[in-house]
Each structure stands twice: as structure tokens, then as C-alpha cells.
Homo-oligomer: A and B are copies of this chain.
Amino acid sequence: MLQASETAAVVSSEFDLIRRYFCRPTPQAVLGPGDDCALLAPTAATELAISTDMLVEGTHFLAGTDPCQLGWKALAVNLSDLAAMGATPRWALLAGSLPEARAAWLESFSSGLFRCATRYGVDLVGGDLTRGPLNLCFTVLGELPAGSALRRDRAVPGDDLWVSGQPGLAALGLAQLQGKTSLPEVLGQRCLAALHCPRPRLELGLELRRRRLAHAAIDVSDGLLADLEHILERSAVAAEVFVAQLPCLPAGADPLLARQCQLAGGDDYELVFSAPPAKRSELAALAAELDLPLWRFGRVVDAALDRLTLLDGDGQRLPMDGKGFDHFG
């Protein structure tokens, strides 16, 4: 991951490193980095949404990943969890272990990280740096009015199922990187951008929550069907998925692979949500407003033996296989 020419630029102290690369003003905190804890003053009458996610080299990203992209992505995928609850992002903490402290790598990583933090209005208020195999663990905090969160357990039979954007691109990009497919150049670039530089759907989550458009939501980190199943399980319902209503597959990709990536590929960070049919026109208006396609691809039904049924354009059942990514599956 690091160039031989950088070997001279090893920075010496954990505390210097934090000061140099990870301390920026934190106007949203009472006290930022540099003490035993950060101090935060939550807004009155709000709830805090909090999430932590660990990214491990070799499991979540390949050795040699560009550190600037990695800095963006590691924070972005955490913010995606706030998006899925409809929370306004406020604060983040980073704990990381690094095999060594290389100035160029740290410079680049922190620039990507702060680009993402600035874009989404987050203060990095604290953290920890230590030596070890490359591992990045963010904790993010957002706020939302008490009782208003988009939860996984609130889908009800009759709800439409929606997904944003173009799920599957990130997995196609990974397949390209791994030499498992050969995409046309422009599509390849688009898929790699989806993989390396995901955009957490914070505006979408916020508006779904504010306008009370959705009953339940989740972000697609493990795969569209796998993540949908979490909603179904927590809400004790089942779903029918109309494959023909999913986003068109990207032209130029192998259709079988592209469909597999769309249904079971992880790392997209689109939102899947359930919403009452009465909200269809408001959702169409929101999609136009955010310039983000929203696809109505299924519906919630009463709990059944098969939690998930895939149907083709003629209403015929389709067989199912691998549904997503499980780290210990």
C-alpha cells in the first residue's frame, strides 16, 4: 500500500499523529479530541442514533486500496447507518490500528475522511490510534426527534418496497477488480466509483423521516435481498419481489452477473424501505427533488413459510440462491 520512497517519513508518536492528521475544529462539540472523552451536548428533545462499524483490510477492502478513497468510504458506510434511521449526522469517532505510521498514507487517508466529514456535516470528536493489522472502526452519532426514527421493525403487510439508486454497481466493480468480469470502460469507472466512493443516502433518509413517507428502512450493505430480509424478520412479515420492476441492468455487463450483483451484492449503501401505497406520488416527487431514482420493486405481505418470494414479469416464482454477504457464513 505504501511506496518505498516513503520509508523515511515515519511519524513518531501516536499523539503527534492524532494531532497532525486527525484534529480539526469541532464546532459541534463541547470538547473535541485530546482528553479522555469527547464531550457532546445533545439537542433537547432529540434521540441519539449511534452505530459502530469495523472495516478490516482483506475482509472489507483490498490491500493497496487508495487511502484517500478508504478515508471517505470508511466514514461514508457508517453514515449510511444514520441515513437508514433518518438521523441528522453530527459526530464521529475513529479508532484505528495501522501496521506502521506513514506520513503519506495518513495524509491521504485523513484528507478523504475529512472530505466526507465536511460533505455531510460531521465533526470528528475523538478516537484512538494503535499499532496492528490495518483496521478502521468508526462510531457515528446523529440526532432525530424522539420517536421518529425509521426502524427495521415497522414494515406492515400492504406496504410497497422501494430501493434507491442502482444497487449492484459496487459488486460489479469488485468483480471487475478481481478479474471475474470485464466491463466496458465507462461502466467500469462508474462501478469502481460506486465501490470506492459510496454516497450515504442521508438526504433521502432525512426526508423519508421528516415527511413520514416510510414505515421501515435499512441500508444495503450486505445485499439487497439479505438486507430486505432483516426488515422482514424484525417486522415479522414476508415479501414478494417483482424482479422485472428492479432497476434496469447496466448495459454492457453480463446480465446474469449483473442480476446477481443487484440482488445479492453488498457495499452499495442504497436505502431499501417500505412505504404505504398512498405515498407513491409523494415518493415520486421526492425522487425528482433529490435527483435520485426510487424503484418500487415489491410489496410486504403477511408472514409466510417463505419469507421472500421472487416473481418474474408473469408472476411466476423464480428460484433463489445466495442472498448476500455474511462475515461468518
Contacts and interface: CB of A to CB of B under 8 A. Distances in A.
A90 to B, nearest CB: 11
Interface residues of A, number: 73
A326 B130 CA distance: 9
B40 A48 contact: yes
A222 to B, nearest CB: 9
A52 B84 contact: no
Interface in A267-304: none
A54 B328 CA distance: 21
A159 interface: no
A126 interface: yes
A208 to B, nearest CB: 13
A85 B38 CA distance: 9
Interface in A159-196: none
Interface string A208-219: 000000000111
Interface of A: 11-15, 17, 30-31, 34-42, 44, 47-54, 56-60, 80-82, 84-85, 87, 91, 93-97, 100-101, 125-133, 135, 137, 139, 141-142, 146, 149, 151-153, 217-219, 230, 234, 326-329
